[in-house]
């Protein structure tokens, strides 16, 4: 955990806390977390919670990565984790993890024009990113990490030349499908992040096997030393100890395989990584430089959504939200932003086909790589797009992560009403409509005589009232 304070345009780190939990080691073959791993993680979060529990929600971000992406029982764990920490815990995609890692590393380096390759070896995944300044250009998340490779090839702690060769070959094979794209784009400097790479860098330095960076010669000497020790419990190298030594064989194999597959000659260890990237991403949100907004705009353009119609729907949806936010418990910027983003994206499915376009749109939103979004946020956004017309997909709302079902249904109702009111796609402004809400009852009021003069709009709203009734809502027109 990293705690920082905003100073001017930058962040000043106030505190760093680190506890080895090794959650990846607790993921069984059935893709469920063991009770022991859950207990370790929750105990750690309880201790961290003592430091951040009283901070406002918008100033704390906590994320889970590869292990929680895989775990079938993550929903229950995330609920317990949120209670232990005092703040929600999100799960981010491998793509988003890579983006955040690059952001954290980029802020720890000189602000130059160099094209960088950034590598981060985690417990269950390894991220590779090429970028320039603060902008990533190519990102991959690979299914190998220091814990998972150690479990696969060094489970009993024994380290032999044969096992190491097999582990390095496995790492090279995992890298093989992406290596050519990275080599083709190229880089002028390679940088490593994460505890594994920093531990290897420190070990090479303290044993005199480094000229200031990680290189093939130093890795060859470390490989020889690991095999000579024969077992993780007998490792006695300066700079390497404690929990890190238990998973260093797997981490070394991944790094060694990357050096071979990517033709690396030198790798500098950096201070920043995922946690620092989260802080800078959070700082951007506070300053209204939210990368999620850019992701939404980019996706809408990619699928040729009608920007003028989306803007009309967004404005009206926000106007309706402002009227019922207090009665429906929809206060706060987080909900308003989700509704606005759903309005901007509600027609992206039309680029595929008009028939069932709301379903096409939900698929696009749900499965696209959207920088800045957690998996839960993206699932909610996709559900709103899916629910903006026709029958309410009640099952999808029930499947949303904890606490979102009722909120998302109410946001969907507002989006649906805005879509219906703009079905004619006219640029002319709507009349001053009034929306009242109490539990599942809604009343939509128009200026006197407006519905009589616009019978088509009235018919559309009556049809919408029937759809809402099937979802448990009552809509009255005045």
* Segment 154-166, tens digit of pLDDT: 999 999 999 999 9
* Domain end point (choices 217, 247, 274): 274
pLDDT at 113: 81
* Segment 205-230, tens digit of pLDDT: 999 999 899 999 999 999 999 999 99
pLDDT at 288: 76
DSSP-derived letter for residue 429 is P
Instruction: Give the integer Cα–Cα distance in Å for 454 and 447.
Output: 12
Tokens 């100073």 belong to which residue? Answer: 7
3-state secondary structure of 329: coil
CATH number of the domain where residue 127 is located = 3.30.420.150
Structure token digits, residue 230: 């024969």
Instruction: Give the integer Cα–Cα distance in Å for 358 and 382.
Output: 10
Is a pLDDT exceeding 80 seen at residue 400? yes
pLDDT at 168: 98
* Domain end point (choices 48, 73, 91): 91
Per-position b or e across 136-170, b if 16+ CB within 10 A of its CB: bebbbbbebbbbbbbbebbeeeebeeebbeebbeb
Do 324 and 417 belong to one domain? Answer: yes
Determine, yes or no, domain membership for 388: yes
Q: How many CB atoms lie within 10 A of CB 212?
A: 10
* Segment 277-303, tens digit of pLDDT: 999 998 888 777 789 999 999 999 999
DSSP-derived letter for residue 214 is B
402: left (phi over 0), alpha (psi -120 to 50) or beta: beta
Do 151 and 229 belong to one domain? Answer: yes
Confidence of residue 58 (pLDDT cuts 50, 70, 90): confident
Task: Look at 117-121, 237-241, 367-371, 398-402 and tell me which has the smallest mean pLDDT.
Answer: 398-402
Sign of the CA dihedral running 450, 451, 457, 461: positive
121 membership: H or E segment, kind and range: strand 115-121
Determine, yes or no, domain membership for 282: no
* Segment 8-57, tens digit of pLDDT: 777 888 988 988 888 988 998 899 999 999 999 999 999 999 999 999 98
Determine, yes or no, domain membership for 281: no
Instruction: Give the integer Cα–Cα distance in Å for 381 and 373.
Output: 10
pLDDT at 18: 87
Tokens 């317990």 belong to which residue? Answer: 80
* Domain end point (choices 63, 91, 119): 91
Determine, yes or no, domain membership for 283: no
Determine the average pLDDT of the residues in 178-197. 96
For residue 136, give every residue at least 6 positions away whose Cβ sits within 8 Å of its Cβ, in sequence order, or none: 98, 99, 102, 103, 129, 130
Instruction: Give the integer Cα–Cα distance in Å for 247 and 253.
Output: 10
pLDDT at 468: 97
449 membership: H or E segment, kind and range: none
CATH number of the domain where residue 366 is located = 1.10.3210.10
Dihedral, CA of residue 186, residue 191, residue 196 and residue 199, to nearest 10 = 140
CATH number of the domain where residue 76 is located = 3.30.420.40
For residue 225, give every residue at least 6 positions away whose Cβ sits within 8 Å of its Cβ, in sequence order, or none: 207, 237
Do 176 and 256 belong to one domain? Answer: yes
- In which domain, by residue range, is 324 found? 290-477
Burial class (CB in 10 A: 0-12, 13-18, 19+), 113: exposed
**Strand-pair partners of 141:** 127
pTM of the model as a whole: 0.86
Do 215 and 328 belong to one domain? Answer: no
Q: CB–CB of 109/213 below 8 Å? A: no
For residue 351, give every residue at least 6 positions away whose Cβ sits within 8 Å of its Cβ, in sequence order, or none: 303, 304, 305
Do 263 and 401 belong to one domain? Answer: no
Do 107 and 154 belong to one domain? Answer: yes
Is a pLDDT exceeding 90 seen at residue 243? no
Length of the chain: 478
Q: CB–CB of 267/209 below 8 Å? A: no
* Segment 99-123, tens digit of pLDDT: 999 999 998 887 788 899 999 999 9
Is a pLDDT exceeding 90 seen at residue 196? yes
Could you tell me which of 153, 139, 372, 126 has the C-alpha nearest to residue 255?
126
Is a pLDDT exceeding 80 seen at residue 475? yes
pLDDT at 8: 77
Structure token digits, residue 287: 């300053």
Confidence of residue 194 (pLDDT cuts 50, 70, 90): confident
Do 212 and 165 belong to one domain? Answer: yes
* Strand positions, DSSP E, 201-341: 268-269
Determine, yes or no, domain membership for 285: no
Determine the average pLDDT of the residues in 418-442. 95
Burial class (CB in 10 A: 0-12, 13-18, 19+), 207: middle
Determine the average pLDDT of the residues in 438-461. 95
Determine, yes or no, domain membership for 447: yes
Q: CB–CB of 207/142 below 8 Å? A: no
Determine, yes or no, domain membership for 209: yes
Tell me the pLDDT of the chain averaged across its residues: 94
pLDDT at 29: 86
Do 74 and 149 belong to one domain? Answer: no
* Segment 411-420, tens digit of pLDDT: 999 999 999 9
Do 22 and 116 belong to one domain? Answer: no
pLDDT at 22: 85
Determine the average pLDDT of the residues in 230-236. 95
Determine, yes or no, domain membership for 298: yes
Domain count, the chain: 3
Do 350 and 472 belong to one domain? Answer: yes
Do 329 and 382 belong to one domain? Answer: yes
Task: Spell out the long-range contacts of 323-327 with Cβ–Cβ below 8 A and sequence spacing 24 or more.
Answer: 323/434, 323/435, 323/436, 323/437, 324/410, 324/414, 324/435, 324/436, 324/437, 327/436, 327/437, 327/438
Do 376 and 296 belong to one domain? Answer: yes
């Amino acid at each position: 955990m990293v705690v920082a304070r905003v100073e001017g345009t930058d962040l000043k780190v106030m505190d760093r806390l680190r506890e080895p939990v090794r959650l990846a080691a607790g993921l069984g073959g059935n893709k469920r977390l063991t009770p022991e791993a859950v207990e370790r993680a929750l105990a750690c979060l309880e201790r961290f919670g003592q430091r951040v529990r009283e901070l406002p929600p918008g100033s704390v971000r906590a994320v889970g990565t590869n292990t929680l992406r895989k775990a079938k029982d993550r929903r229950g764990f995330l609920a317990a984790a949120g209670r232990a920490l005092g703040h929600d815990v999100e799960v981010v995609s491998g793509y988003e993890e890579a983006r955040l890692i690059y952001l954290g590393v980029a802020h720890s380096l000189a602000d130059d024009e160099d094209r960088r390759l950034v590598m981060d070896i985690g417990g269950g995944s390894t991220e590779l990113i090429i970028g320039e300044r603060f902008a990533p250009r190519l990102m991959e998340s690979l299914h190998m990490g220091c814990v998972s490779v150690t479990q696969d090839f060094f489970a009993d702690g024994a380290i032999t030349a044969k096992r190491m060769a097999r582990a390095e070959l496995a790492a090279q094979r995992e890298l093989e499908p992406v290596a050519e794209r990275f080599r083709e784009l190229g880089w002028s400097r390679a940088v490593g992040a994460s505890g594994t790479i920093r531990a290897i860098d420190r070990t090479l330095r303290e044993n005199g096997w480094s000229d200031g960076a990680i290189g093939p010669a130093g890795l060859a000497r470390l490989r020889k030393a690991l095999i000579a020790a024969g077992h993780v419990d007998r490792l006695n190298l300066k700079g390497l100890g404690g929990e890190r030594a238990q998973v260093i064989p797997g981490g070394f194999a991944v790094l060694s395989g990357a050096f071979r597959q990517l033709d690396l000659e030198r790798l500098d260890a950096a201070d920043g990584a995922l946690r620092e990237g989260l802080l800078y991403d959070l700082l951007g949100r506070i300053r209204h430089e939210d990368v999620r907004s850019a992701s939404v705009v980019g996706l809408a353009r990619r699928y040729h959504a009608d920007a003028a119609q989306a803007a009309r729907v967004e404005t009206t949806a926000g106007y309706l939200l402002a009227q019922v936010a207090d009665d429906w418990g929809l206060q706060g910027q987080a909900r308003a932003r989700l509704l606005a983003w759903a309005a901007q994206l509600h027609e992206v499915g039309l680029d595929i086909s008009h028939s069932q376009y709301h379903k096409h749109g939900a698929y696009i939103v749900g499965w696209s790589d959207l920088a800045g979004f957690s998996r839960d946020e993206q699932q909610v956004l996709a559900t709103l797009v899916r629910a903006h017309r026709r029958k309410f997909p009640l099952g999808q709302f029930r499947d949303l992560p904890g606490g979102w079902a009722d909120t998302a249904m109410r946001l969907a109702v507002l989006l649906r009403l805005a879509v219906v009111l703009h079905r004619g796609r006219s640029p002319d402004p709507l009349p001053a409509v009034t929306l009242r809400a109490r539990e599942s009852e809604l009343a939509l009021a128009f200026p006197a005589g407006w519905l009589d003069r616009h019978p088509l709009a009235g018919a559309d709203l009556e049809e919408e009232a029937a759809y809402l009734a099937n979802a448990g809502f009552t809509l009255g027109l005045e």
